[in-house]
Amino acid sequence: MGYFNCIALAFLMALSLPSINVGQAARHLQQLPPMPTLPTATLPPFPFILNTPQPTIPTMPRPGALPPLPTMPALPSLPSVPRATLPPLPSMPSIPTAIPSIPFLSPPPSPSPSTP
Cα(10)–Cα(32) distance, integer angstroms: 34
Backbone angles phi, psi at 50, to 5 degrees: -75, -45
Strand residue runs (E) in the chain: none
What pLDDT, on a 0 to 100 scale, did the predictor assign at position 116?
A: 54
The pLDDT tens digits of the residues spanning 47-103 come to 776 677 777 888 877 777 777 788 888 888 888 888 888 888 888 888 777 877 777
Please give the Cα distance from 72 to 83 (Å, whole number): 31
Phi, psi for residue 19 in degrees, rounded to 5: -70, -30
Separation of CA 16 from chain center? 32
Length of the chain: 116
